[in-house]
């Protein structure tokens, strides 16, 4: 009997304020396949949790702040770190409320000039979508890895 199809549902959020973007330097988890890389905040949805409430919870858990998320994209990732398929709901937030937590268990939180995000240590797949983070159009994307190397991608913008 074939193994049942499984997809990981997750969120990713980039908090922006005063021309800067809050990034997580992944440097605390022992077996993190993205150790040393910069990323947005977010994580896997819990059973029964929708992406909107997940991203609010994840950002609060990781950074101690409250956001008003803006839904940007739905991205399918194939194969990073194995053969898992990830459906990632991409958000951004223009500002936040609360006091930023400096002790995140995932890594170090740092503010990066938004104009410099494509010049820091991010994955090749993140480069595909980050240049469209502040576009006025929603998009779908597919980013495929093989042996941890980007092998293909596409983006489809949606006009409402």
**Rg over CA atoms, the chain:** 15
At 90-141, the pLDDT tens digits run: 999 999 999 999 788 888 999 999 999 999 999 999 999 999 999 999 999 9
At 9-35, the pLDDT tens digits run: 999 999 999 999 999 998 766 776 667
Q: Where are the domains of the chain?
A: 7-158
Q: Which H helix or E strand runs over 70?
A: strand 70-78
Query: How far is Cα 92 from Cα 21, in angstroms, rounded to an integer?
Result: 10
pTM for this model (two decimals): 0.92
CATH classification (class only), 7-158 = alpha beta
């Amino acid at each position: 009997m074939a193994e049942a199809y499984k997809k990981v549902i997750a969120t990713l959020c980039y908090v922006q304020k005063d021309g800067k973007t809050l990034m997580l330097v992944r440097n605390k988890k022992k077996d993190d396949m993205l150790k040393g890389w910069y990323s947005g905040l977010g994580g896997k949805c819990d059973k029964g949790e929708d992406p909107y409430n997940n991203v609010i919870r994840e950002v609060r858990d990781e950074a101690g702040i409250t956001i008003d998320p803006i839904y940007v994209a739905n991205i399918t990732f194939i194969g990073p770190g194995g053969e898992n398929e990830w459906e990632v709901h991409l958000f951004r937030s223009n500002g936040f409320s609360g006091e930023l937590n400096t002790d995140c268990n995932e890594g170090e939180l740092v503010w990066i000039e938004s104009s410099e995000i494509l010049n820091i240590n991010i994955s090749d797949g993140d480069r595909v979508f980050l240049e469209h983070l502040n576009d006025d159009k929603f998009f779908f994307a597919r980013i495929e890895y093989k042996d941890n190397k980007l092998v293909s991608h596409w983006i489809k913008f949606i006009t409402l």
